[in-house]
Amino acid sequence: MSTSKLEYSRGDVIAGKYEVIDLLDESPLGLMYRARHLKSGKYIRITMLRPSIAGRDHKNEIITAFKHARELQHKNLTKVGELGEHEGTAFYTMEDFEGITLRELLQEYKVQGKQFAVKDAAQITIQVLEGLNAAHANTLVMRALRPEYVLVNVRYTGPRKQNFVAQVKVAGTAFWGLVPVAVLAEDEFTRGEAQYLAPEMKTFEPTPTGRSDIYSAGVMFYEMLVGHSPVGTFQLPSALRPDLSQHVNDVVELALARAPEDRYQTAQDFITDIQRIFRDAEDEVVETKPLITMVGWGLALGLVCVVAVILFSVRTDPEKVAQAADSQLRASVVEAHAKPTGPEITAMTDRHPKGMVYIPAGPYVKGRLNAESNKLVSSAEPSAEVVEVDAFMIDAFEHPNLVNEPPTYGVNSIEAAALCAEAGKRLCAADEWEKACKGRRNTVYSYGDTFDADFCGNGLDKVYLSGDNEQCKSDWNVFDMSGNFREWTSSSPRGKDNRRIVKGGMKGNAVKGTRCGLVSDEAFMAKDNSMSFRCCRDADAAPVAKP
């Protein structure tokens, strides 16, 4: 058998009949291309399966997966065409559904400053769940569901083309069972998209079930509603969008329950509860209609005036104004930030020492947010200042950057910098540290906007092995920045060259001290058993030799 090949260029021909048009996605399954059938001229999607999961010794598993895919006919699942082999590499084809991925649709909405109406987000989610329901009925669990694998065709109907109509299909359902769970989890962390993985999929003994897929669908529903995915102790949808009902909150909380047994038991249960959102809305309308008849038009007009006063007070409430300003600022920073693809991230991490996380170039919100309480901020923190940071690499854990190992502590800044240099790295700058902690969404703590001792422990009062608290991480997947030790940086406060900025903790006040934006400083030769550090590297630094 010849050496397996996965990468093809436009114009290459696979199996003598499929002309490659472009690369669509790279995943643990393999590389997916759009291709044209030379004889019929029809477009299809073709996935070249990775040899590690589709080698000769996996032949029976591949054939079984293909048979399941062919048997699984459902309007919300892509149709599978052919299973074949090209130059030693197994592949399968499926229909080229006319549409875009849900990821692309989410990006379009962000660029245009639009929000999904509840009924539109529900329409997409229900169809995803219908497809999952069919798969689960055939004992198939996707496990890797995320927006890239949801294909959406949107059209607008009715007067002035205002009615949103979506046709949705989930891709590749039957084949994900070929991918080992550990490989799947590693890929999601590398992509920085582990938020779509159910919590039980991130443990040392992952146990995927249909409820794992339900969790992933819940993440996408939440993301459509509020514009970003839930991380850590997430805010309920109505806290970010006042137009959303309590029932929407209830649906999200059930779908995103950390324990599988606390979630919806089936995809159909999830569908039924989403549909109740609209029944509840209709009931409210029916119950409200007789009110005007009963109270009379004069009193109704008075009610309108009261509502107007309430709305005005909301607009002039300083806290509400600050929250709105923060929301707009964070959204603009997210939109302006570089968004590397999975292959680009992989190519970058391969250039650097193992265990480092790639943080792309772009802006972040430095310091305190407008809505943060004055009791939690220090005078050294700037107020919601947008700062550009060049691309860099950062250790996933505190030195020595090894999971399940104790961090190095009790060193001064000179010793910390020397240990980084020994590893071909450097001590992180304060802006790099803070950006890595706040993540893409610029949260207050590494895991979210609300302090929760369950995620990172109670600040400096609890020391643990690196990575021991698996939820204590930013959505860049950098761990223990809101817990464990304080950390040296290479930055000095203005006018204090003999001191260095310290991030990540404060003795006796975890609520204040574990905020990403907190700024304190120490003499550069100071030593303290609460002090550790982590290392960084320029993204364009010379590649390291791999063993």
CATH tag, 100-277:
1.10.510.10
Shortest CA distance to 230 belongs to which of 257, 209, 270? 257
Q: Which CATH class is domain 333-538?
A: alpha beta
What CATH fold (topology level) applies to the domain 13-95? Phosphorylase Kinase; domain 1 (3.30.200)
pLDDT in tens, 118-135: 999 999 999 999 999 999
User: Could you tell me where in the chain the CATH 3.90.1580.10 domains are found?
Assistant: 333-538
244 versus 545: the higher-pLDDT residue is 244
The whole-angstrom separation of Cα 180 and Cα 91 is: 18
Distance CA 95, CA 184 (A): 24
Torsion angle in degrees (nearest 10) through CA of 47, 50, 51, 54: -60
What confidence tier does 523 reach under pLDDT thresholds 50, 70, 90? very high
Separation between Cα atoms, residue 18 and residue 87, nearest integer Å = 14
Q: What is the model's pLDDT at position 161?
A: 73
pLDDT for res 174: 77
If you search the block for the tokens 């699942």, which residue do you land on? 77
Closest CA to 30 of 171, 136, 151, 164: 171
pLDDT tier at 380 (50, 70, 90 boundaries)? Answer: low
Q: Which tens digits make up the pLDDT trace of 227-242?
A: 988 877 788 999 889 8
Residue pLDDT, tens place only, 401-444: 999 999 999 999 999 999 999 999 999 999 999 999 999 889 89
The predicted-structure confidence for 445-486, as pLDDT tens digits, reads as follows 998 888 888 788 776 777 889 988 888 899 888 999 998 999
Does 275 score more than 60 pLDDT?
yes
pLDDT band at 372 (very low <50, low <70, confident <90, very high): confident
State whether the Cα torsion 252-257-258-264 is positive or negative. negative
State phi, psi for 205 to the nearest 5 degrees.
-125, 75
Supply the pLDDT for residue 146. 87
**pTM for this predicted structure:** 0.53
| Count of alpha carbons within 13 angstroms of residue 427, beta-carbon side | 23
Sheet containing strand 520-523, edge to edge, reads 520-523, 499-503, 486-488, 531-532
Which run of H or of E encompasses 167?
strand 163-170
For the record, the structure tokens of 347 come out as 């190519």
**pLDDT at residue 304 is higher than 80:** no
Collapse the DSSP code of 515 into the 3-class scheme (helix H, G, I; strand E, B; otherwise coil) and give the result.
coil
| Ranges 55-64, 175-184, 267-276: which has the least confidence | 175-184
For strands 100-101 and 531-532, give the pairing.
unpaired
Q: Of the ranges 80-84, 229-233, 249-253, which one carries the lowest mean pLDDT score? A: 229-233
CA separation for the pair 187, 517 (Å, rounded): 30
The pLDDT of 4-30, averaged and rounded, is 87
Decide if 220 contacts 196 (C-beta within 8 A).
Answer: yes
Nearest to 273 by CA among 198, 322, 201, 221: 221
**Where along the chain do the CATH 3.30.200.20 domains lie?**
13-95
- The whole-number average pLDDT for the span 285-289 is 37
Q: How confident is the model at residue 194 (pLDDT cuts 50, 70, 90)?
A: low
Phi, psi at residue 421, to the nearest 5°? -60, -35
Phi, psi of 119 (to 5 degrees): -65, -30
